[in-house]
């Protein structure tokens, strides 16, 4: 099971790398927001996985915070970008 | 019994990670925004369900009741918010004038690709 | 070994994000990358088992500060003025020198996780032997250290946050602004064409902007429905974090920020006037001060009961069991911090957006 856990962590890390590349490359702001949102979900899973593997179930609290904050941030940024665009 | 559960959890986890890698590759490689959101949005929910499912089996095996409860909470929350976020991003991009790529010069009124 | 490899990979991502943030010419892009940076840093803290720091980084760094930076950008327009010379040689030399010195100094630092490191032999041993820690039966060591042992520090941190809110009000609030009808109209100068939005290399095409009158942002049925469902849970979780700081990760700062995030979400999806119905301006102004007063008042109460300032054990109903007093005092103090942080964050956001 341990090996599977490490492999899973590594796979999540690699997928986070690709998400990060998309966030760095853009080209539109929406691509970046999408990448950030996806990265947030991956982070939630990563933290939950780590919590189980390290025997620290209290990590799940952090995972919940991530899940909440990720949605709030994505929604807030989207609305703010829309405001900026519509005003122009 | 435990061995069987372990194998099931491992399989779910492996499947989830494979899906995550696929979606990340799609997000990186696909040519335009709506194709990319198609790759990233839907798989997001699936990956979440698979990984949390695997962890739930582990939690049940170890007898962590509160952890299992929190996992279910996370899963339900992501199940609601992740598609919403994807939809909101797609509709914001569409409203701004971003259109799905199509080979013919006059793009038809394409359907909104949300999740 | 595996853990170190994971950490190295994560730190590589962090460095890549940092470089990307500095390189980005578009300020919206830079802000989003900064949010991702916080996300990755919080993950790094989690990997290092620094649960409380991870909590703070997630809620403050990735959450509220990203949103506040975005709100500021919308106000000023998100384009960086072009810098003429890209390479500033003296600055580069200075940075390299400083980095070299730091790397040189790092040679003397104890190895990562070394049990004989001075911090483990002295500081950690001292903290774990703290009377307050044993008295309160706290499972989370960070909370007694912050709220009890370093209670004065935390009190003044709360005062600093209160001052920040005060400064924001003094700088940005308009005298006459009673309740502006269109509180959400923000950017004054139009952000010029995004160099970021058009990419000749890719096939994504921008077919012009929606011209004419600004569309009503309030009609986003899916988002508003989901927000209505989600916001209560966010607030409840924020309260849980504030009151649960003793037993698990979290505390007043993080919980306050989470509650403020709920306010921001309502303000952006349903409009600031709607959010102000839940937390009127007079209330948030008052609550910002009330939190600090609660914290300071706990200290005065313990003095009145014959102890020293913030000696929580004096609060115990049963003098035989001072642990109850510890728990009560720390919970009250955390609540004070949470109230101030939530009120000040809400104030900062609404002052920034309101115009």
pLDDT at C102: 93
Beta carbons within 8 Å of A19's beta carbon, 6+ residues apart: A35, A38, A39, A42, B24, B27, B28, B40
How much of chain C exceeds pLDDT 90, in percent?
26
Please give the residue that has the higher pLDDT: either B15 or C125.
B15
Binding partners of B (≥3 Cβ pairs within 8 A): A, C
Task: Tell me the three state secondary structure of residue B99.
Answer: strand
Strand B98-99, strand C205-206: pairing: antiparallel
Distance CA A48, CA B89 (A): 26
- Asked if C259 contacts C338 with a C-beta cutoff of 8 angstroms, the reply is yes
Counting one residue from chain A and one from chain B, the pairs whose CB atoms sit within 8 A come to 144
Give the torsion sign (CA, A49, A53, A57, A62): negative
Distance from A51 to chain C by nearest Cα, in Å? 9
Say whether residue C202 is in contact with chain B using an 8 A CB cutoff.
yes
pLDDT at C179: 45
Q: What is the ipTM of this complex?
A: 0.93
Using an 8 Å CB-CB cutoff, list chain B residues near C204: 31-33, 98, 101
With CB atoms and an 8 Å threshold, state whether A80 touches C214. Answer: no
- Asked if C22 contacts C219 with a C-beta cutoff of 8 angstroms, the reply is no
Each residue's pLDDT tens digit, B51-104: 999 999 888 888 888 888 889 999 999 999 999 999 989 888 888 777 777 766
Distance CA C50, CA A60 (A): 14
Where do runs of H (alpha helix) occur along chain C?
Answer: 2-23, 27-47, 51-56, 66-76, 89-106, 118, 125-128, 131-136, 142-144, 151-172, 221-243, 252-270, 272-278, 281-304, 322-353
**Nearest CB neighbour to C32, from listed A23, A66, A72:** A23
With CB atoms and an 8 Å threshold, state whether C59 touches A75. Answer: no
Measure the N-to-C terminal CA separation of chain B; round to a whole number of Å.
38
Distance CA C285, CA C170 (A): 12
pLDDT at A35: 92
Q: Suggest the residue from B75, B93, B97 to mutate for an interface test with chain C (most C CBs closer than 10 A).
A: B97
Distance from A33 to chain C by nearest Cα, in Å? 7
Say whether residue C211 is in contact with chain B using an 8 A CB cutoff.
no
pLDDT at A88: 61
Q: Average the pLDDT over A32-57 and give the result.
A: 88
Angle in degrees, CA C245, C251, C257, rounded to 5: 145
Confidence band (pLDDT; 50, 70, 90) for C36?
very high
Give the torsion sign (CA, C213, C217, C218, C222): positive
Domain holding A23, by residue range, is 2-87
Q: Average the pLDDT over B32-54 and give the result.
A: 90
Q: Which two tokens stand for residue C100?
A: 């070299």
Q: Phi then psi for C20, rounded to 5 degrees?
A: -60, -40
Each residue's pLDDT tens digit, C89-133: 899 999 999 999 999 998 888 877 777 777 777 777 777 676 555
Say whether residue B18 is in contact with chain C using an 8 A CB cutoff.
no
Bridge partners of residue C205, in order along the sequence: B99
pLDDT at C292: 92
With CB atoms and an 8 Å threshold, state whether C209 touches B97. Answer: yes
Q: To 10 degrees, the CA torsion angle through B28, B31, B32, B37?
A: -40
Q: Average the pLDDT over A39-59 and give the result.
A: 86
Using an 8 Å CB-CB cutoff, list chain C residues near A79: 217, 268-269
Q: Considering only A47-51, A57-61, A70-74, which range has the smallest mean pLDDT?
A: A57-61
Bridge partners of residue C79, in order along the sequence: C26
Distances in Å between the Cα of C24 and the Cα atoms of B29, C20, C30 are 21, 6, 6
| pLDDT averaged over every residue in chain C | 78
Number of separate domains in chain A: 1
């Amino acid at each position: 099971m341990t090996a599977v856990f490490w492999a899973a962590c590594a796979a999540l890390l690699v997928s986070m790398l690709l998400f990060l590349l998309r966030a760095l490359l853009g080209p539109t702001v929406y691509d970046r927001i999408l990448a950030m949102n996806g990265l947030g979900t991956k982070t939630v899973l990563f933290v939950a996985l780590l919590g189980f593997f390290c025997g620290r179930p209290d990590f799940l609290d952090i995972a919940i915070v991530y899940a909440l904050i990720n949605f709030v941030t994505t929604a807030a940024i989207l609305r703010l970008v829309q405001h900026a665009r519509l005003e122009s | 019994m435990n061995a069987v559960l372990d194998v099931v959890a491992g399989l779910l986890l492996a499947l989830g990670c494979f899906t995550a890698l696929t979606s990340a590759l799609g997000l990186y490689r696909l040519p335009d925004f709506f194709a990319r959101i198609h790759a990233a949005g839907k798989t997001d929910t699936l990956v979440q369900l698979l990984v949390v499912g695997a962890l739930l089996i582990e939690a049940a095996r170890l007898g962590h009741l509160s952890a299992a409860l929190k996992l279910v909470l996370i899963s339900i929350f992501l199940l609601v918010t992740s598609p919403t976020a994807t939809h909101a991003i797609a509709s914001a991009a569409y409203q701004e004038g971003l259109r799905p790529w199509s080979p013919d010069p006059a793009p038809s009124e394409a359907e909104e690709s949300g999740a | 070994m595996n853990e170190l490899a994971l950490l190295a990979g994560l730190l590589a991502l962090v460095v890549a994000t940092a470089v990307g943030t500095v390189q980005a010419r578009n300020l919206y892009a830079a802000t989003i990358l900064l949010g991702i940076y916080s996300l990755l840093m919080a993950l790094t803290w989690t990997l290092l088992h620094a649960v409380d720091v991870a909590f703070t980084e997630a809620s403050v760094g990735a959450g509220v500060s990203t949103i506040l930076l975005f709100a500021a950008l919308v106000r000023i327009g998100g384009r960086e003025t072009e810098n003429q010379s890209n390479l500033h040689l003296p600055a580069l030399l200075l940075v390299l020198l400083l980095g070299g010195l730091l790397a040189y100094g790092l040679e003397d630092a104890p190895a990562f996780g070394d049990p004989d490191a001075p911090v483990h032999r002295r500081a950690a041993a001292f903290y774990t032997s703290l009377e307050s820690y044993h008295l309160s039966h706290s499972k989370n060591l960070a909370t007694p250290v912050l709220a009890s042992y370093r209670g004065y520090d935390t009190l003044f941190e709360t005062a600093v946050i209160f001052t920040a809110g005060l400064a924001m009000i003094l700088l940005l609030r308009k005298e006459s602004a009673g309740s502006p009808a269109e509180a959400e109209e923000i950017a004054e100068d139009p952000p010029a064409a995004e160099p970021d939005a058009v990419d000749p290399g890719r096939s994504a095409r921008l077919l012009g902007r929606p011209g004419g009158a600004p569309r009503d942002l309030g009609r986003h049925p899916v988002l508003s429905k989901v927000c209505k469902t989600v916001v209560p849970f966010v607030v409840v979780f924020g309260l849980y974090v504030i009151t649960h700081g003793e037993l698990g990760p979290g505390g007043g700062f993080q919980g306050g920020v989470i509650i403020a995030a709920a306010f921001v979400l309502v303000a952006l999806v349903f409009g600031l006037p709607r959010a102000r119905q839940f937390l009127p301006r007079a209330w948030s102004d008052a609550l910002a001060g009330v939190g600090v007063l609660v914290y300071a008042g706990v200290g005065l109460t313990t003095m009145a009961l014959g102890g020293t300032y913030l000696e929580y054990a004096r609060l115990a109903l049963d003098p035989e069991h001072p642990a109850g007093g510890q728990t009560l005092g720390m919970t009250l103090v955390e609540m004070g911090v949470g109230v101030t942080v939530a009120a000040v964050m809400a104030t900062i956001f609404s002052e920034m957006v309101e115009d």
